[in-house]
Amino acid sequence: MEKRKTIQKWFWVWEFEKEENWLNEMAMNGWVLESVGFCAYHFIRCEPGEYTLRLEMHPYDEAYVQFMQDTGAEYVGRMMMWIYFRKKAADGAFDLFSDIDSRITHLDKIGKMLTAVGGANLLIGIANTFSPARLGWINLLCATLLMYCLGRIHGKKEALEKERLLHE
């Protein structure tokens, strides 16, 4: 029986919850995330349902990783700005966000990153439109995609804000 496997898979930035659900389904099927790379997930065999996985957009911070390890979570790795943790399911519930406000704050962080990168691509695209190579369309296409991502994140944020109003 194989003990390791790698799966190539793509998730858009607004699909981080879908990615987390998929990682937890893999763990329920006996494959826990061991490491992560660009569109590459490396798994090792485990007992089905042994682990719960979480991911978050968070800059690497040794103190934060240590804090998470102190709570019983294991640092799995990171891909760009995303950080991955796993925790034994037997240790109890594992959630990185304690309430709706912390989820909204997380979406705000994602939105700020998308705005910065999208804005930079827009400016570079406009500047490159007038260059002899005329490759500005690539940056303009990237800016359009990033703004679409921003819209999807904004929609998630609005839904959480409405939910928060219902609970107040």
Q: Where are the alpha helices (DSSP H) in the chain?
A: 16-28, 62-70, 100-129, 136-167
User: Residues 42-81: pLDDT tens digits?
Assistant: 999 999 999 999 999 998 899 999 999 999 999 999 998 9
In DSSP notation, 90-131 reads GG----S--SHHHHHHHHHHHHHHHHHHHHHHHHHHHHHHTS
Say whether pLDDT at 34 is over 80.
yes
Query: Which pLDDT does position 1 carry in this prediction?
Result: 66
* pTM across the whole model: 0.86
pLDDT digits 0-9 by tens, 138-163? 999 999 999 999 999 999 999 999 99
